[in-house]
Amino acid sequence: MVLLLLVLRLNENPKNKMVKKCISYVMLFAALGWSTALSAQTIDQKKTSEKFSTLLYYIEQMYVDSVDSEALVETAIVGMLEELDPHSSYISAADVQEANAPLKGNFDGIGIQFNILKDTILVVSPISGGPSEKLGIQAGDKIVIIDGENVAGVGVSNNDVRDKLMGPKDTKVTVGIKRKGSKKLLEFEIIRDKIPIFSVDASYMVDDEIGYVKVNRFGKTTMQELREALMKMKSQGMKDLILDLQGNGGGYLQTAIDMADEFLSEQKLIVFTQGRSFPKDDFYARREGLFEKGRLVVLIDEGSASASEIVSGAIQDWDRGLIVGRRSFGKGLVQRPVPLPDGAEVRLTVQKYYTPSGRCIQKPYDEGVEAYRNEKYDRYESGELYSLDNIDLPDSLKFETNVKKRTVYGGGGILPDIFVPVDTSMTTDYFMDLIRTGIMNRFALEYTNEHRQEMMEVFNTSATFRDNFVITDNIKKELVALAESEEVAFNEEEWNISKEAIEIRLAALIGRNLYDYNLFFEIINELSPAYQKAIKTLKDGTFEKANLAHRDF
């Protein structure tokens, strides 16, 4: 345990750079209130710090083998944070930029989605508005040379591709591309630029009145993307909305507040936060939202966390809409990024957040980090994913919604108003092997690349593809043959059980490769029980029977 809490040496060997670095760490933790906590426990921080630093000194001077002091200190920081809670974390200087990119909404690069197929870099699609698209690089192009170096058939990895193609804005990279139908190797000089990372995976009209939007993260650009999607669908006649937050692990607190504000009228409390060193903060809806009165259904599952729970909790507590799916993850801890002297970063838990009715969504973590991380498997073992009856809901966890006084529950995650169990009726080992081994993705890429031109002539719009593309017997035979070449033996019985799921998923993948992710979700959502339940809820009178307050906003 002591090794996990190593930090620094204060007084001895002052020329040691690692010691100076460690001193900075301890001073930083002290500034964050760590010293206050120690004082509260009647522990003298200086003596404690000297104890840690002395041990580090003796390890450096006396240990039987040479030691990497920097790695040792990083291990100590990680261990110390794990003693606090499961979400306080350390990010090394080398990883900070990559870790922050998904939330900031962009990175520097050439702007392609790629896959490695048969040891060759295949462009799945150029990113809209990126430098590759502007130069005319196309889906299906094979990148075989980067800056004069052959990268085909040499065992290139995903990390190798990122290292070679990502780089600072305005720098150049030259790629040699092999394109179907062209005998000549095409050369492009690409000037790297800011590449957007989109938060909205898909938005489309389910029918003449129901809109659907899938949000994958709560980042810097999320609200701009969401508002554009809402305005477009409203112009198409949207009256009802399905907001899909399934698998959304969260992001920025402010983005969650802004999203809830789109659905709640002014002066409605959205969330409040509290922490030992920080006063209680209340966050309210402040502006007129784009969708304050229409019928709203929010989809969540066990992968919906943090910011997703803020939004769904506020919607539920104000009786604004119905929550459909399964109990959310249960992350109610707020992290604040704290920079360290060497460019590394600690994301330190500083507050807990609470829904408007007073529910703390954070699930228990007093049994340690490992038990906390395994809790999602415990849900499977307990049967919770299949029935609400398997969830322990004591009266002590009961709360009331703010308007209609409906019963809701705290104690770990948002419990949906309408439960949708996991559907395993079409799941077989053969189907899962096709997914796990990457065979289905690989086949979809190869098929699209081989038949792109003829498919574009037949399916000249995404809607035409969605409504008319079918998995033929020939396509099935080709998929099965590829699987067998990768030692995944055909199982006719299991194929028949999974046939619908295989065909829908394969069509969605081919559609994505031919068009975009919007088409992927239009097709794959046929396999989503929560999505289907949401549509039914809006059409069969279930929403009205819930007696919500959506007309009062």
Catalytically active residues are 306, 317, 331
- Strands 89-91, 398-400: pairing kind: unpaired
Q: How far apart are CA 498 and CA 20, in angstroms?
A: 60
**Cα separations in angstroms, 282 against 12, 255, 401:** 47, 15, 18
219 near 103, Cβ under 8 Å? Answer: yes
Backbone phi and psi for residue 408, each to the nearest 5 degrees, phi listed first: -130, 170
End-to-end CA distance of the chain: 54
Nearest Cα residue to 78 out of 89, 67, 94? 89
Tokens of 319: 């009786």
Rounded to 5 degrees, φ, ψ at 198 are -85, 140
Q: What are phi and psi of 370, to 5 degrees?
A: -65, -45
Cα torsion angle, 290, 293, 294, 296, sign: positive
Residues across the chain: 553
d(CA 220, CA 102): 9
> Under a CB-based contact definition with an 8 Å cutoff, are residues 244 and 311 in contact?
no
Give every CB contact of residue 495 below 8 A, 6+ residues apart in sequence: 428, 430, 480, 502
